[in-house]
Structure 1
Amino acid sequence: MMYMSICSMSFLSLIIFSFFMFFTGAMFLFYDMIYFIEWEVLSVNSSSFVMTFLFDWMSLLFMSFVLLISSLVILYSKEYMAHDIYINRFIMLVLMFVLSMMLLIISPNLISILLGWDGLGLVSYCLVIYFQNIKSYNAGMLTALSNRIGDVALLMAIAWMLNYGSWNYIFYLEYMVSDFYMMVIGGFVILAAMTKSAQIPFSSWLPAAMAAPTPVSALVHSSTLVTAGIYLLIRFNNILLSSYFGQGLLLVAGLTMFMSGLGANFEFDLKKIIALSTLSQLGLMMMILSLGFPKLGFFHLLTHAMFKALLFMCAGAIIHNMLNSQDIRTMGGLCLNMPLTTSFFNVANLALSGMPFLAGFYSKDMILEVVSLSYMNSLIFFFFFFSTGLTVSYSFRLVYYSMVSSFNSFSLHPLNDESWLMLKSMFMLVIMSIISGSFLSWLIFPTPYMICLPKMLKMLTLFVCLVGGVSGYMISLTSLFFYNKSLNNNKLITFLSLMWFMPMIFTTGVIKMPLFMGGLMKELDQGWSEYFGAQNLFNYIKKISMFYQMIHLNNLKLYLLSFLLWGFLLLMFMMKF
């Protein structure tokens, strides 16, 4: 079969490139090297069109992780999408997606960043509407229009950089700290990053994008589309520290983390729970970047990519076996029928929760300890720790519903653990979810952070995680009691579970209103203004000019007519007297 060869070739090529990038990145980090490569595409007289690439340890490590996950996603798709007759098209779209991300990662130039940025936006739209139905089309439109706001902000930043002589932002990072006008560029970049990484008020598109096939979700929500904004802010981190933008972003990211954690505890769609979990982790990364720790943000970005891709892959395997049902209430007892998949799922969940010595622990624990050591107010401190507790809460709620509770599906069911290609791709990510935290911490932080805290603060992270996990499990265990309680507070529960009404506000306010206004303008353009405006004015002037032209051409009939008319008037006048 042709698609088999395309999948296999893509998988092998990407994984070889991934290992090459990783070892090159480690070498660059060890020797503290940066390569700045310029390729002159076109030169006319004194004008030259130059394509620039930036290779340092950060871009190389990130590229290696993106390539590793995308190669495993393609291997996974070989079985997951086996019955799709357009699988070639699907693989090509995924490869275009990865290519756009590569271009974004290695660009120190805002214009080439825009190429990768828009490439991600366009291909993500194509992938979200891949299953052609109304829900997918709506989700795709919401995704595309939300991201267009950020694209326009990036275009405006490019226009503003015309004042400075070059679009290579890497040259201006130090200057941005002191120059007020450079902060305008910073504001646009932060707005672009907020739309791409789905911060409040642009959060509604991220759960909606779950309409895409599960392999796409595993790629998009772990290491590509949503992390593009985080990566851009890691590069522009100086701006966050030098202005009030950082403080504003800190509050917005904290609210996003809190909102998504609460929403996930009320959600019953398996993929949406994991999507809200991604939103929560993006908020965490944004917050730590706003506090001025880009390396920590990058560290959590890489570890999060591993266990989040694994979570989506496990969810895909479960949905596949549940005959495309995504409702966690129809699951239960899956560990008896799918022991290997659920074991992987549990490892990913524990890594997300920050279980000691798994990947998430090293980054999350260090972030929370650095936060405890930092100077900040109680609200931000509450957002960090309470949202971490909520993360563990919805993870254990998910474990209860899908594995511990009694089996709720059909008595005749196809549940099995025989999807070998899917399991192979997941197995690689399980290994990475266990070991990536420790070896990345040794690689990125060869000198450990000196974090000296009182015993209570040191234990607070572990305590919050334990309380969150136990409360999530217990609430699920006695769910009927809490359903009755939630009926008493129906309005509040509806508000929390529907992401603070953000999808409704965004679709009606931000998308429907401009479209309605566009329709109104069309009525004016092709109606009233058509009659009283330029088009009718043109006809009127045309008629007058034709009349004058007729006079100008000495038309004999006209002169005779005017002579007779004047003669008649003169005769009438004389008869009167």
Structure 2
Amino acid sequence: MSVQTIAVLMASLVPVSFFLAALANEKQARWKLAERLSLMGLLVAVVLSIGVVSGWFSISEYHHWIGTSLASLVMLGLVSLIAFINIRFSSAYMAGNVEEEKRYLRWLLITLGSVATVVISNHMIIFMLAWVAISLSLHRLLLFFPHRQRAVLAAYKKAIFARAAEVFLFAAMLLLFLQHDTWFISEIYQNISQANELSTLDQVAAVFIALAALIKCAQLPLHGWLIQVVEAPTPVSALLHAGIINLGGYLLIAFAPLIMLSDAAQWLLLVVGGLTTVLAALVMMTRATVKVRLAWSTMSQMGLMMVECALGLFELALLHLVAHSFYKAYAFLNSGSEVETSMKRRMAPSKSPTLIDWTLATVFSAGLVFGLVWLADIEGPYSPWLLFALALILLIAERHGRLSASSLLSMVGLGAVLLAVYTLQKAGAGFIVPGMPASVGWLGDAWIALLFGLFMLVYILLRYHTERPALQKIRRAFYAGFYLDELVTRLNLRIYPTRLPVRQKPKKLQVAKEEFLQ
């Protein structure tokens, strides 16, 4: 048996073990078994990654149903680690009802096995089947409390959009098979990497893949279900935001050469993803509920990931995907204490930045970021560096508006450290997934830079000038999400109506007449 075959068997063992464990919950929920299997998946991903880097087996000379590329192994390790954290939290969160524990763990393991299958699959049919299985099993978790109206409505809309994404993805894969006469993703990747332009079928397939990724990542205006699924159990929300919704980004990474040769696909991602990035981040500012803020944050982050893929920054997209998964898993599982922190932050006295604060922050931030770009002779696109500079401006300028004020030098030092860490991590991710030149060129870069500039302007207005009547009206529009979800929901219910559970009336307190005070 060759080393390559052993690697394929080891990788396939991870999803298979999750599926088999789902069958072992007939009598009781086997939480410890699920934890050990997730740790085994992490160990397999680490061992196989070392094997690929060390050259023990090749990933380019063989085409198996299971892929062992570095990107797929990184995703496998990420899924396994998120699974371990989620299962440990869920074992305490769901304790108390044996039947509910068994039902929850069964569908959780099926969902995890399906996600693991997607990230290691090198065959488009297996990829597609696992993609559908994720939606179906996640649907059962979202309806874990079937009597909650908002939960049912969110799962209903999620199911509709998931079927639309699956139709686009299946059509794209069918077109790719007709064009390249193979179901293997690695072969299609190599064929398109060697081409200078795409055929008509490839062009249509690229647009369909972009549409599937946008729908999967809950981009505007098909975003409402992501906000309403907070009605599901907290670990389900954590799994959704940390390990499932970002599969749209992984889909674009898997078909990177195809996207980079299609202007239509790139502009679709730049326009929809760019607008979602900015608008969702601004809407998040107006919301008070912690989980709802996190949901809008996820939409914004997924939009930014779409933009990174459209600009050819696939190494940055992979880095973003991993970092976002860990952050959202922590944020949702720690949302209880986040409520207290958020209240302290609002009650703390804040000091608005002065003109001198903004000026110094701009000078130091621009000097750090664009000085590095100039000294290191970094080539475009430059809009991500602009976004980093804007983030540093806010970090430095608002140093007096936090729970603990910091000095200017300490914030500048922190900004320099963050810039160095970001640059090193981006370079390291480039060894796993290399970046590619985008065909949209400087126009796409300029479009995103314009959006980032507008975001900065509106952020300052909404944060520090809300006393003006015109801005109060704008703030209400942002708070309502521009009523996009309401319009989409009405359209969904008109085209494909459904019956929501009847909300039970609360019991009235019956007090005897003689107990009233005379």
Bin for the TM-score computed over the shorter chain: 0.5 to 0.7
Q: Which amino acid in the other structure matches residue 270 of structure 1?
A: V
Given the alignment, which residue of 213, 217, 230 partners 2:249? Answer: 230
From 191, 194, 198, the equivalent of 2:218 is 198
Deviations 1:89-133 (A, max 9, x none): 111211111111111111222211111111111122111121221
Letter in 2 for 1:197: C
1:38 to 1:6, Cα distance in 2 relative to 1, 3 A? farther
Identity %: 21
* Distance change in 2, residues 1:172/1:8 (3 Å): same
Tell me the residue number matched to 1:160. 175
Question: How far has the Cα of 1:261 moved from its partner?
Answer: 0.4
For 1:81-480, what aligned pairs fall within 5 Å after superposition? 81-85=94-98, 86-132=100-146, 133-164=148-179, 165-176=181-192, 177-222=197-242, 224-244=243-263, 245-316=265-336, 331-332=343-344, 373-375=379-381, 384=387, 444-445=429-430
Letter in 2 for 1:170: S
Q: CA deviation at 1:201?
A: 2.9
With over 3 angstroms needed to count, the CA separation of the structure-2 counterparts of 1:334 and 1:263, relative to structure 1, is closer
Say if 2:41 is the partner of 1:17.
Answer: yes
Specify the code of the residue in structure 2 equivalent to 1:213: P
- Please, which moves more after superposition, 153-162 or 225-234? 153-162
Q: 2:63, 2:184 within 8 Å by CA — same for their partners in 1?
A: no
Contact 2:280–2:296, Cα closer than 8 Å, also in 1: yes
Distance change (3 Å), C-alpha of 1:200 and 1:386: farther
The residue identity in structure 2 corresponding to 1:216 is V
CA distance in 2 between partners of 1:490 and 1:143 (Å): 32
Distance 2:52 2:94 in 1: 38
Aligned to 2:501: none
- In the alignment, residue 273 of structure 2 is paired with which amino acid? A
Letter in 2 for 1:34: I
Would you say how many aligned residue pairs link Structure 1 and Structure 2?
410
CA contact (8 A) 1:146 1:205 kept: no
- The alpha-carbon distance between structure 1 residues 334 and 266, as it changes in their structure 2 partners (threshold 3 A), is closer
Query: What TM-score results when the alignment is normalised by the length of structure 1?
Result: 0.61
Among 489, 494, 504, which residue is 1:513 paired with?
494
| TM-aligned CA distance change 1:248 to 1:89, over 3 Å | same
* Structure 2 CA distance for aligned equivalents of residues 129 and 155 of structure 1: 26
Answer whether contact 2:139 2:159 (CA < 8 A) is retained: yes
Gaps of 5+ in 2: 1-24, 348-370, 405-417, 435-448, 499-518
Tell me the SS of whatever aligns to 1:172: helix
Change (3 A) 1:179 1:230: same
Name the counterpart of 1:499: 481
Whether contact under 8 Å (2:315, 2:426) holds in the other structure is: no
Tell me by how many angstroms 1:202 deviates: 2.2
Give the Cα separation in 1 of the matches to 2:230 and 2:272: 23
- Alpha-carbon deviation of 1:287? 1.0
Equivalent residue, structure 1, for 2:75: 62
Task: State the SS of the aligned residue for 2:496.
Answer: helix
Residues 102 and 382 (structure 1 numbering): CA distance in 2 closer, same or farther, change over 3 Å?
A: closer
For the Cα contact (< 8 Å) 1:284–1:384, is it kept in 2? no
Q: CA 1:263–1:95 in structure 2 vs 1: closer, same or farther (change >3 Å)?
A: same
| 3-state SS in 1 of match to 2:67 | strand
User: Match of 1:33?
Assistant: 58
- Work out the CA distance in 2 between the residues paired with 1:212 and 1:366: 45
CA contact (8 A) 1:154 1:192 kept: yes
- Cα distance change on mapping 1:390 and 1:307 into 2, 3 Å: farther
1:302-334 deviation per Cα after TM superposition (whole angstroms, max 9, x unaligned): 122112211111115557xx8xxxxx98x4489
Against the structure 1 CA distance between its residues 141 and 312, is the aligned structure 2 distance closer, same or farther, given a 3 Å change threshold? Answer: same
SS in 1 for 2:246: helix
Larger RCO, structures 1/2 (Cα 8 Å, 6+ apart): 2
How far 1:444 sits from its partner (Å)? 3.5
Question: Residues of 1 paired with 2:254 and 2:297: CA distance?
Answer: 24
* d(CA) in 1 for partners of 2:394, 2:139: 29
Contact 2:462/2:471 (8 A) holds in 1:
no
Matched AA of 2:106:
M
Question: Is contact 1:234–1:289 with CA below 8 Å preserved after alignment?
Answer: yes
> Residue by residue, what CA displacement relative to the aligned partner does 1:368-409 show, whole Å, maximum 9, x if unpaired?
x99984257xxx67994698589979x999x97xx89xxxxx
Do the aligned partners of 2:176 and 2:201 also contact (CA within 8 Å) in 1?
no
TM-score by length of 2: 0.68
> Does the C-alpha gap of structure 1 residues 445 and 294 become closer, same or farther in structure 2, counting only changes over 3 Å?
closer
Partner of 1:73: 86
Q: Find the residue that maps to 2:95 and give its secondary structure.
A: coil
Instruction: Write the deviation string for residues 550-573 of structure 1: whole angstroms up to 9, x where unpaired.
Output: xxxxxxxxxxxxxxxxxxxxxxxx
Tell me if structure 1 keeps the 8 A contact 2:38–2:84.
Answer: yes
CA distance in 2, matches of 1:121, 1:374: 37
How has the CA–CA distance of structure 1 residues 276 and 382 changed in structure 2, closer, same or farther, with 3 Å as cutoff?
Answer: farther
Aligned-residue offset at 1:259: 0.9
Q: Which amino acid aligns with 1:314?
A: N
Kept in 2: contact 1:259–1:500 (CA 8 A): no
How far apart are the structure 2 equivalents of 1:107 and 1:392? 41
SS at match of 2:287: coil
Deviation at 1:65, TM superposition (A): 1.0
2:316–2:429 contact (8 Å) kept in structure 1: no
SS at 1:54's partner residue? coil
Distance in 1 of aligned mates of 2:392 and 2:168: 35
Q: Is the 2:318–2:429 Cα contact (8 Å) retained in structure 1? A: no
* Structure 2 residue identity aligned to 1:18: L
Against the structure 1 CA distance between its residues 262 and 18, is the aligned structure 2 distance closer, same or farther, given a 3 Å change threshold? same
Contact 2:253/2:309 (8 A) holds in 1: yes
Query: Displacement, 1:438?
Result: 9.5
Contact 2:142 2:229 in 1 (8 A): yes
Residue type of the partner of 1:194? L
305 and 370 in structure 1: CA distance in 2 versus 1, 3 angstrom threshold:
farther
Higher Rg of the two aligned structures: 1
2 CA distance for matches of 1:237 and 1:226?
18
Residue 20 of structure 1, CA deviation: 2.7
| Cα distance change on mapping 1:202 and 1:248 into 2, 3 Å | same
Deviation digits for residues 461-513 of structure 1 (CA, Å, limit 9, x no counterpart): 9xx99x98xx88x988x8xx84x54x65454222212223221121123x133
Q: Displacement, 1:27?
A: 3.0
